[in-house]
Structure 1
Amino acid sequence: MSETPDTLMQRLKGRLFTRSSVLSMTTVIVMFATWEFVTATGLANKLFLPAPEAVWQAFIKAATKGYQGNTLQTHVGVSLLRILAAFFAAIIVGVPLGILMGLSKDARALLNPIIEFYRPLPPLGLYTLLVMWLGIGEESKFALLFLAGLPGIIITTTQAIWSIEPIYARAAQALGARGWDLVLHVYLPAAGPTILAGMRISLGFIYTVLVAAEIVAATAGIGWMIWDAAKFLLSDVVIMGLIVLGLTGVALDMAMRQIGRWLMPWEARIRN
């Protein structure tokens, strides 16, 4: 039986006005109020911390007239394309490698030194080498973002697979499960929530190196816009770009959590 509009509105209100939602909104309101107070009273130099109104005007100008030849939508779209391409590539490579390393001690011994070696390398230091190898085009940018997101997925997937109780696999084997059946019906469902958490962490790492990836030979991208504006002390554009970057990150994280609920409905039932 389909829900009536009144029932849907009640469910929506229930989600919007939960205790957690109210506390989150309170945090945001306090932050903006403090920002407005600090700039209005002159406690902060407006050259370095512009008022919220100035940042909003920078947003409107960038969205309508553009910044350095491209609109804000173009800058965001270019960056999201780079982020998502690297992120999906990291998933395609990282999840199978994590499963392999979680199931095989030999694979873990062979691959772990490589991952642990490059994982703590600073992005700018790694980027210089990638530029020497791949040039200043999109290939080096993709490689840097891909390498930033890969370790988090591999490590969390490995740990998730390794932590599954062997009794579940033995029970499935007793029922005739072998090979991919074990992976698809035992390991992935059990490790899914942890793998999803690793993907969210990986996406955050990719975001952290976006500006580094876009400072070399780029003409568009939200990270490039932030870097270019900083050179001219356009703090309103810098802060606006950071806010837009943060909001797109929050939106992608929310989308990932929703996908997780669709793919793993049993997890929500367990929590409830």
Structure 2
Amino acid sequence: MLLIKNVPFNNVVANGVATVNLPIGMSYNKIILALGGTFTKAMITNVNVKVNGKIIFQESGSRLDLINQYRGLTAAAGFLTLDFTEPRAKTMIEQYVGNINTAQSVSSLTVEVTIAGATSPTLDSYSELGPPAQLGVIAKHIPFTQAFASSGKIPMKLIDITNRGGIIKRVHFAHTGNLSQLEVKKNGIVIWDNVLAAVNSFWQGEYQKTSQANLYSYDPCADNNYANAVKTADATSLEFNPTFSAADTVTAVVEVLDVLGNM
């Protein structure tokens, strides 16, 4: 594999959207953002990765940093990784499935970073590249936000998930402190049985995952076997039912393997 410095971002300003168009041809395993000046990950209010103009990866800097730390990626103040691979997968195929192959069927690959409140920021990026390949399934990050006005067990609707053919690796529920447990049902059958946050954190630690404050990660692939991912092609229903101790607002980030045009 190669690690290269990308062409410079345009419009790196204290408040605005910095953009870089990346070269086409190689396979992108990950993109590392390098932040300088008075510019922290908390000042990144949104990151979009677009393939052929379609957003396939959308995150805030702080939330992505929590997800990366849960997955065991390196945490450092001046760096933020957009990772399209599974570095600890048990087979090479599973490790690289989902990387962005751009040799065929891709006309553009763009990264947009929304900056808010920085002082004299600098922004560079580096790409880990693999050999050229035709575009296949992509590791997408798709966020859904919902407000919950009271305590109790309340369904959370994740639009465009059921019966779409995508393969769900994880769903991260970023909350404000009141999500206490989660139930997941597929086709009416419980596949995640009202697991308390503390139990979930302990169990994930058995597989060297590191739970993060105010982030409940539903991870059927915690053991790094991605055959355990949730397949939606045969799902007539897929329910996510969190329980709250008080009102909360949740952003659920779905990590899903999917073709470009599907979701």
Bin for the TM-score computed over the shorter chain: under 0.3
From the CA coordinates, give the structure whose radius of gyration is larger: 1
What is the TM-score when the length of structure 2 is the normalising length?
Answer: 0.19
What is the TM-score when the length of structure 1 is the normalising length?
Answer: 0.19
User: Which structure would you say has the larger RCO, counting Cα contacts within 8 Å and 6 or more residues apart?
Assistant: 2
Q: If each structure's strand is expressed as a fraction of its own residues, which one has the higher value?
A: 2
Q: If each structure's helix is expressed as a fraction of its own residues, which one has the higher value?
A: 1
